[in-house]
Amino acid sequence: MLEGTPEIPVIDFAPFLEGTASSRQAVATEMRQASREWGFFYLANCGMPEKQLAEAFAASKAFFSLPVEAKNRVAWQNAESNRGYVGIKRERLDPARPGDLKEAFNLAPEQPGPGAHRNRWPAGPPDFEAVMTRFLDECIATADRVLEGFALALDQPADFFVGAHDQHHHTLRLLHYPPLPEGFEPHDGESRAGAHTDYGSITLLFQDSVGGLEVCTRSGEWIRATPMPGTVVVNTGDLMHRWTNHVFSSTPHRVNVAPEHRHRDRYSIAFFCHPNKEAEIACIDTCATAETPPIYEPISAGQHLQEKLTSTYGA
């Protein structure tokens, strides 16, 4: 790392989970600062059981190693359900660039009701559905703890965000970036995932040891978010940017092909949090001042998401 290169903050969450009111507030203050300046931080001791995380990565690897025909049997169908397998180059996160060199599998907490979208479970690996269902529950619990931190960071009641997310309209996304073929040179701008911001409120990202995630600093420089064992990367998305009247950043990030990782697989798991569809996203009171009045009209979270998804998939 060059001298003077800024570093993405690392926040220890243990004092929030186990500490006194003042240690919780101290952690929340760190989260506030990191989200203002970076929109990204590493969170250590987030409370996710290591065993379930390891099981989820193993099940993800097993799924992606299936023949493509098997994966296509549970292919992603449309932005409304947003579930299932997305093959390599299906997606264009950055519409100006070629398709991304990755494959993904999306699943989500099941909603009640006869018309609700269902997960597209593959016939195998045998324990895939059970492992992912358990892991999904752990992700929801982890996200709720983190959302409590964000509420305190903005001087809101502890349940401010958790209450607005209690219908669990989240998406869990397994990602696999295959090794690039021998002799393959990425075309201009072709990377593992194009530069983008996330749509929702917050994202939790679990990375394996193969790096590639890069984050754009406020001065427009791309820096590597090197995997740190025992941490989850937390970032704030477009909806949180809007909700906080731009106090929290929604920072562009991408996954690049580092020369030393061209011939290695990379796996990651992202949990995208979205508020209840009917939740009104209106400027949070502590985010507006006389000098910085609300920038946006209120919008429902559902309408915000649908607009974003339609532009990514061209659906």
Q: By CB under 5 A, name the binding residues for Ca ion.
A: 198
Q: Which is nearer to Ca ion, 24 or 254 (CB)?
A: 254
Q: How far is the CB of 198 from Ca ion (least distance, A)?
A: 5
Q: How far is the CB of 176 from Ca ion (least distance, A)?
A: 15
Q: How far is the CB of 266 from Ca ion (least distance, A)?
A: 14
CB atoms within 10 A of CB 192: 22
Long-range contacts of 62-68 (CB under 8 A, 24+ apart): 62/124, 62/125, 62/128, 63/105, 63/122, 63/125, 63/128, 63/174, 64/103, 64/105, 64/174, 64/176, 64/267, 66/122, 66/124, 66/125
Q: Which is nearer to Ca ion, 103 or 198 (CB)?
A: 198
User: DSSP state, 81?
Assistant: T
Question: What is the spatial distance between Cα 178 and Cα 61, in angstroms, rounded to a whole number?
Answer: 11
Q: Which is nearer to Ca ion, 28 or 216 (CB)?
A: 216
CA 213 to chain centre: 12
Q: Which is nearer to Ca ion, 28 or 146 (CB)?
A: 146
Q: Which is nearer to Ca ion, 252 or 275 (CB)?
A: 252
Q: Which is nearer to Ca ion, 30 or 198 (CB)?
A: 198
Q: How far is the CB of 263 from Ca ion (least distance, A)?
A: 24
* Residue whose CB is nearest to Ca ion in the complex, by number: 198
Q: How far is the CB of 167 from Ca ion (least distance, A)?
A: 22
CB-based contact 297:196 (threshold 8 Å):
no
Q: How far is the CB of 254 from Ca ion (least distance, A)?
A: 9
What kind and span of H or E run contains 12? strand 10-12
Q: How far is the CB of 15 from Ca ion (least distance, A)?
A: 28
Question: What is the spatial distance between Cα 207 and Cα 268, in angstroms, rounded to a whole number?
Answer: 5
Parallel, antiparallel, or unpaired: how do β-strands 103-107 and 84-86 relate?
antiparallel
CB-based contact 201:148 (threshold 8 Å):
no
Question: What is the spatial distance between Cα 59 and Cα 280, in angstroms, rounded to a whole number?
Answer: 36
Question: b/e map of 138-151 (b: 16 or more CB within 10 Å)?
Answer: bbbebbbbbbbbbb
Q: Which is nearer to Ca ion, 128 or 252 (CB)?
A: 252
Q: How far is the CB of 48 from Ca ion (least distance, A)?
A: 18
Strand partners, 11: 43
Q: How many residues does the chain have?
A: 315
Q: Which is nearer to Ca ion, 91 or 198 (CB)?
A: 198
